[in-house]
Structure 1
């Protein structure tokens, strides 16, 4: 764990504006501040839950940088790992994200799943648009340009 990082990049059911009814969001976000952000070179898929896949050139994922006070972060990291079943289901890595208010980039932890099913791409990169036309079968799932 990088002790300088006290933020997560959240893009699915942990987003402050998530509308899925996820029961864990409220408790997880307690005590946080957040700003809308974008994770470049990542792609969003739906595989039972939202899944970000890193190293997908030309794609982006919309979400929030959620920051906690330094003294609370170790407990939030454990809570995030439990919610995301890390490392068995999701992996956690430090990434650079861009705040959408024009501020400088920042480092945050993101939970991602390299091995998720890729047949349901959320083309807009925005979890809130999952029910719209952008959620469509990815006919070229095996060819998705992600490392």
Structure 2
């Protein structure tokens, strides 16, 4: 699988039942299944969460596999939603490829994950509200 065709790991408003799931993912994905990202902590944001890398912990979410014919469109849509532009120092999030564990079978899958950009992560580590459970849905 090439990096451009990786699935996405979502942990906030793109999860099933949340506001952006149907708006952005409906009709563009072939599957979603529970998963977890290790080595990150989850912080509450202004209506959405941030995963912050570099610390112990675990973030719960969904592994979303786009339909092949919708991949490029969905990648562009999610980059825009997450306000991510490669190399832009104003990014709130960075899109990074990480190992995510599928909950059903424990298998590791490489996936795109939007994590807090370094300046945002630094701010959250000092002043943010940690979601202890690592699950934004249960942390609200």
- TM (norm. structure 2) is 0.82
Helix, strand or coil at the partner of 1:28: helix
Calculate the aligned-residue CA RMSD, in Å.
1.6
- TM (norm. structure 1) is 0.78
CA distance in 1, matches of 2:78, 2:100: 18
Structure 2, unpaired ranges of 5+: 86-90
1:55 — aligned with what? Answer: 54
2:43 — aligned with what? Answer: 45
Whether 2:22 is the aligned partner of 1:26: answer yes
- Whether the 8 Å CA contact 1:16–1:29 is kept in 2: the answer is no
2:88 — aligned with what? Answer: none
More strand by share: 2
| Equivalent in 63, 66, 69 of residue 65 of structure 1 | 63
Number of matched pairs: 125
Displacement over 3 Å in runs of 4+: none
Helix, strand or coil at the partner of 1:54: strand
Output one character per residue of 1:75-110: Cα deviation in whole Å (capped at 9) or x when no partner: 100000111101322110011100000152111101
CA distance in 2, matches of 1:25, 1:84: 13
